[in-house]
Each structure stands twice: as structure tokens, then as C-alpha cells.
Chain A
Amino acid sequence: MGLKKGRKPDIQPVEKQSRSAGRNFEGLKQQLLSTNPSERRWAARDLAIHPEAVEPLLQALSSEAEHSVGIAIFDSLRQIGGEAVVNGLLTFLSAEDAFQRNAAIEVLQAMPEGVALHIIELLNDRDSDVRIFAIDILQQLAHPQTPEWLLSVLKDETHINVIATAVDRLAEVGTSDMLPALKALKLRFPNEPYLDFAVQTAIRRIGED
């Protein structure tokens, strides 16, 4: 007993057990439906190199109950990227499952160009939660139009929670030309102390620059 010495590390050969079987696209697609979570997880990971896997991965996501498999699916979708992934993940912004919603937001944040095409539509969604999620996406979205989109929320949005979320984000990225729109909110919502505080913070922050 003790520290093992002078031997080659026990690195498991890759081509072993059932995972070595059917590692092509069709085989992996089938394994996404396996009853074994570990097999589904490996299939999801390995599908990351198959651009045609977007649809089966999205389908699997809808019914996947195992957390570690869900994460692998989101990660593969992120690696594949592209319009089909963006379109598919946007539908998860309305998902009941908080993990799915948040993971979808995180992946979308990593796809600025693809998401940019949908931001206006999301900011106008009928569901105020989806509009807030759209602002959550903007929080980390590395896109030059982000401040402009946030400004449009200040001007056009009516739901107080959505506006407050946008003000919160603008505290970090706002510029002095947004001050009038921020000040106008105080007049529009004179009896909302939380919003008033958020606006003051944003104005102070922008003023410091």
C-alpha cells in the first residue's frame, strides 16, 4: 500500500466498451435515446462535431431529465453554433424549467451575430419574462448595438420590471446621450422608488465617465 511507483499511468483506452460502437452520426443519434444517461451524455458530447446534429440535440433537450446530459447537449449546441441553434434555443426562453432557460440564455450570449437578428423581436415579445430574458442576453452579448437596444427599451417599454432591468444594464454600458431618456423615466414613473434608485445609480455611473 502507498504511492504507486514506476509504472505507466493507467489511462483507459478510448476504444472500449459500448461507447466505441456506432460513433458515427447515425449511431450517436440513436444513442441520444439510450436509457443509460452516461451513454446519452457521451453521444451528446460527440455530436458536437456534427453540424447536422442540431435538430436531434434540440429534440433530445426537450425531454432530457438528467442534468449532466442536458449540460452536454447545450455545450454541443454552443460548439456547433449557427442560425439553427439560435432559432432552436430561442424557444427555450419560455421553458418552464429554469435550468433550460438559463442555459439557453448563456449559449445565446455567446452568439452575438446570430442573436442580433432576433433581438428586436424578443424585446417586443408578448411575454414580459421573455423580454427580460432578452435583456439578460444583452447583458453579456458582445455586440456594438447593445447600448442602442437598451435605449429603445427605455423609450418604448411599458412593463416596469423590464424597464428596471434595462436601466440596471445601462448603468454599466450607458453613455451621456442616454441621460435624457433615463431622466424621462423618473417623470413617467414618479411613484416607483426602486426604479428611481436604479435610474439615479445609472445617471451617477454615466456621469462619472
Chain B
Amino acid sequence: MQAASRPKLDEITDAEFERFKEYFYRKTGIQFEDSKRYFVDKRLLQRIHSTGHDSFRSYFTTMRYQASGEELQELINIMTVNETYFFREEYQFECMVENTLNEIMRCKKPGEEIRIWSIPSSSGEEPYSIAIYLLEHWAGIDKIDIEIVSSDIDSKMLDRCRRGIYSMRSVHHLPKKLLKRYFTPVAGNSYKICQDLLDSVSFTQVNLSDAAKTRSYRNYDLIFCRNLLIYFDDASRRQAAEVFYDAMNPGGFIFLGHSESMSRISSLFKVRKFAKAMVYQKPLA
């Protein structure tokens, strides 16, 4: 623990940064470029001070061998500050309409539908982005029914999703014509999503760690689970992978966040590299 008279550590050396970077990458798959140095150092020092350590080495060793993994999780949380907005990581939606949906479509029999699960809903930008993308960019939508279900553990977030009111910041990546087509300006410099889209996504509350609740989620062809698993510990990640596997149809695809890798979590899925994105597929039976 830090002695009262010792000066407060205020610098992370190059070697320490490299060491931390390598370890963090191995544990999470997140790679920090040198341009992120200031961001990483600041947060590392914050955790070193908060936990009462007086050196990087002492902090790093404690974290490395902490059985509970709590401190690593703290670090993950502060190193992965998250924000969501419409069309975030758009290349994945492009991959959805250019590759995965067409593959799925080829396996469908007449009368069958395509089912998409977006989890976590967060404030709803992702499931509504999927809906907009399908309407705007996938010709196959005229030939088959698509059901979009979106889930979150937080009931307040689900209420926000159902209200469908978004700040300027949330919609700033949307092309103007789409903003005009699907949103109406409302008070407070905000935008309300149109009723058609509100009706196109069903929201449900679910906790991925609740085996009893999640087992009723079945027959999905696409799952979007982006930037969630990074907040889970190893065991919970594996359990989530099990849930997704059982929730999917054979041949179904799962999209994770750009810094997440299913291969590091479970060998249940096959890696599929498409032109614009890497996706994970449940093997065909």
C-alpha cells in the first residue's frame, strides 16, 4: 500500500505501457495504438491511485493474480468508454445486406421468415439502424418477412427504445435524406423515430446470464451483440456464447464489436471473413 510520505506516481514509462498493452490485448483483444497513450496512461494512473498502490509493478502484479478478476474488470470498464449512435460501425450493416442475409435467404423455404436479435438494445440505435438498413439497402426485403427482436437487461433503456426520441448526437451519422425520411424533429433539438419503425422492432427484457430466461430465445438467423461481451468476465462470456449458439439456426451469423473476438471466447462458431467484416457462423447441421 502507498506510504503516506511517498510521492504520488504520475507517470507510466514506455516499458510499462508496452507491458500493459500486451497484457490487455491478450485478455480482451483490445489493441491500443500509441496515439491512445495519453488516454491509457491517465486511466491506469487513476486505478493505481484508487487502489492504493505506489508503483505500476505492484498494481500490475496484484491485478494479474487477483483471483476474483475484479480489478481487471474495472480497467476494462474505464478503458472501453462506450457511446452508441445510428449506423455505428456501418461496415457491419453493409456486410449484413451484401453477404450474410443473401446466404441465409438461399437456405429459407417458402413461407419461412428471417429473424434478427439485437442485444443489448441500449437506447435503441442499433435495432432501428438494422431496420433502416434493411429497408434502404436490401432488395430481398420484398421477398421475405423479417422479425427484429431487441433485448436489454435494463427496463428503463427499453422504455427509451420504445419512445424512440434521439439527440442530435445520436443521429449525426445518418444521411440527411434518411433523417428526413424516418424522423421528425421534436422539442429540445431532438428527433422522434417514425411509427413504422417503432412498430418494426419488438423489445424484451432479458439477462444473458439467466439460463432459464434465455433458453426461450430460438431460431434466430442473425444476432448483433456488439460491445457487450467486453464487459463480461470470462465465464459469463462463455455462457453468453452458449446462449447465442442455442438461440441460432444452423448457418446463422453473429456480429460482435470490432474489438471483440468469438474465437477467443468459444470454438462453437466458425469464423467467416467477408469483404467488409469478420462474422461468426453457427455451423450448418
**A interface residues with partner B (beta carbon < 8 Å):** 1-14, 41-42, 45, 48, 67-68, 71-72, 75, 78-79, 99, 110, 112-113, 142-144, 146, 172-173, 205, 208-209
Which residues from chain B sit less than 8 Å from chain A, CB to CB? 13, 15-16, 19, 23, 57, 61, 64-67, 69, 113, 115, 131, 134-135, 141-149, 196, 199-200, 202, 204, 211-212, 215-219, 234-235, 238-239, 242, 245-246, 266-268
Closest-CB distance, A74 to chain B (whole angstroms): 9
B67 close to A4 (CB less than 8 A): no
* Interchain nearest-CB distance for A151 vs B (Å): 15
Q: Is the pair B219, A142 in contact by a Cβ cutoff of 8 Å?
A: no
**A173 engages B64 (CB within 8 Å):** yes
Distance in angstroms between the alpha carbons of A202 and B125 in the assembled complex: 47
B146 → chain A closest CB, angstroms: 5
Contact partner, B67, options A13, A112, A208, Cβ 8 Å: A112
Instruction: Write out the residue numbers on chain A whose beta carbons fall within 8 Å of the beta carbon of B144.
Output: 1
A-B contact pairs, 5 of them (CB 8 A): A3-B141, A4-B147, A14-B215, A68-B245, A143-B65
* Complex contact A45–B268 (CB within 8 A): no
If A1-B143, A9-B204 touch, whether A71 touches B216 (CB-CB below 8 Å) is: no
- Are B142 and A1 in touch, CB under 8 angstroms? yes
B235: which of A5, A67, A110, A144 is its contact (CB, 8 Å)?
A110
Q: Are B267 and A173 in contact (CB under 8 A)?
A: no
Contact status A143-B67, CB under 8 Å: yes
The residue of chain B having its C-beta at the shortest distance from the C-beta of A2 within the complex is: B141
Task: Supply 14 further A-B pairs (C-beta < 8 A) apart from A3-B147, A142-B67.
Answer: A1-B145, A4-B147, A5-B200, A9-B149, A9-B204, A10-B147, A11-B149, A12-B217, A45-B246, A71-B266, A75-B238, A99-B267, A142-B69, A173-B64
